[in-house]
Amino acid sequence: MNTADLGLPVAVPSTALFTDQYELTMLQAALRSGTADRRSVFEVFTRRLPEGRRYGVVAGTGRLLDAVENFRFDDTILDFLTGRGILDDETRQWLADYRFRGDIWGYPEGEVYFPGSPILRVEGTFAEAVLLETVVLSILNHDSAVAAAASRMSAAAGERPLIEMGARRTHELAAVAAARAAYVGGFHTTSDLAAGFRYNIPTAGTSAHSFTLLHDNERDAFTAQIDSLGAGTTLLVDTYDVTEAVRTAVEVAGPGLGAVRIDSGDLLLLAHRVRQQLDELGATDTKIVVTSDLDEYAIASLAAAPVDAYGVGTQLVTGSGHPTASMVYKLVARADSDGPDAPLRPVAKKSMGGKASQGGRKWAARRLDEHGVAEAEVVGTGPVPEELADRQLQVPLVRGGEVVAREPLDAARDRHIAARAGLPMSAMQLSRGEAVLPTEHV
């Protein structure tokens, strides 16, 4: 399910002001020079992955499609822009009728990517395509960064479920987007109810330390929670003494207690001690959930511990040290005139300092070895080699301004799990290294 299925409005009347001023000043100058209607191709890519990462994860595509549909300039917005002296009358009139009527192709949500991968391709007139730059990058950079962190964490967790619980560590709207991206990256539930409502992500949550502190003693707190939520609930056992809390929890709930949560201390040591204690008390089916500033490295370090689930907050919603995917939106081809049949000319930035780009409208495919494992990301501007024709990665997302690729969020999540499984095993390593696939330009 997605926002459109739920019939929900976006959080603001329009996404048109989620942009930088220079998009509008470029538009105004292009209208004056007569170049605004030149057919143009913009591409989104990243020149490099964050240090130590082996692959990236495309996330935010569904949100991006909503943003493109809602990119509209109403009178209130236009009054603001003209009142600031940002627009002249001609540009205001042009924006009043703005609708993106071009085409967008891209890697489907949940797919993995590598340096130079043409993750998104936006085609239309220069005027209509250039306006989307900031909102496209805002969504893809944030969501892909969170999804990449989530993917590394879910790979480290194996079959153990992961709970996203970072809402209190980021902006309230970013929290919703982060929960969605984390789900794409392999998380199972979120504590954020807005994300559950908007995107139908399963939600989870029981109690905090404040609930225990509210009561006269721990037994009263546990009793109140079990009376309300049943014995299958999760009791937080590290407010005072963990050993005493576990004993009290089983006494109150019985051996059918659902789970205990540990939120502080030496999680590896405590998990072993708590598991032994639970088993001795007859609560052999009671699960152990651990939280407390986890990241992929901490999760991996607990692989041999008797832990059943992980809750992750800060490190997840901040991309585990890399809060952006460093994607850019560059013009790679444009026509010499505004004629609809004018041929496209490749264009590219030539710059010092590693910021050069490659011109031309690109396709992308993933070459597999004889075992069906990915061995290279192949990017080209000419004809697609026959042997790669059925391995192309880009799919149509928008045609003639109409969204054609909405899908349930679970489809993106399943796609990511499958795409990650198709990479070499070294992709799952947490040690520092280069991209697991080379990018070959042909």
pLDDT along the chain (442 residues), means of 10: 49 81 97 96 96 96 96 95 96 97 98 98 97 98 98 97 97 96 98 96 97 98 98 98 98 98 97 98 98 96 98 97 96 92 90 78 97 97 94 98 97 98 96 93 92
pLDDT of res. 369: 96
pLDDT of res. 1: 41
The strands making up 439-441's β-sheet, listed across from edge to edge, are 363-368, 374-380, 439-441
Nearest in space to 110 (alpha carbons), one of 179, 62, 58: 58
| Chain length of the chain | 442
Q: Is 192 exposed, middle or buried (0-12, 13-18, 19+ CB in 10 A)?
A: buried
How far are the Cα atoms of 3, 5, 340, 411, 415 from residue 406, in angstroms, in the given order? 10, 10, 28, 10, 14
Measured distance CA(364)–CA(120) in Å, rounded: 11
Which pair of structure tokens corresponds to residue 214?
């509210």
pLDDT of res. 339: 85
Q: Which helix (H) or strand (E) holds 344?
A: strand 344-346
* Interacting residues of 44 by C-beta distance below 8 A, sequence separation 6+: 106, 118, 119, 120, 121, 122, 136, 137, 140, 327, 328, 329
Contact (Cβ atoms closer than 8 angstroms) between residue 290 and residue 153:
no
Specify the DSSP class assigned to residue 100: -
pLDDT of res. 115: 97
Q: Is 151 exposed, middle or buried (0-12, 13-18, 19+ CB in 10 A)?
A: buried
Please give the angle made by the CA atoms of 227, 229 and 233, to the nearest 5 degrees: 115
Contact (Cβ atoms closer than 8 angstroms) between residue 421 and residue 196:
no
Main-chain phi, psi angles of 197, to 5 degrees: -70, -45
- For the chain, the distance separating the N- and C-terminal CA atoms, rounded to the nearest angstrom, is 38
Main-chain phi, psi angles of 162, to 5 degrees: -125, 135
How far are the Cα atoms of 92, 98, 403, 405 from residue 62, in angstroms, in the given order? 29, 21, 10, 8
Beta strands in 51-165 (DSSP E): 56-57, 103-106, 112-113, 120-125, 162-164
Main-chain phi, psi angles of 327, to 5 degrees: -75, 150
Specify the DSSP class assigned to residue 319: G
Dihedral Cα 222, 228, 231, 232, nearest 10 deg: -110
DSSP string, 369-397: -TTS-EEEEEEESSPPPGGGGGGB--EEE
Contact (Cβ atoms closer than 8 angstroms) between residue 26 and residue 91:
no
pLDDT of res. 10: 42
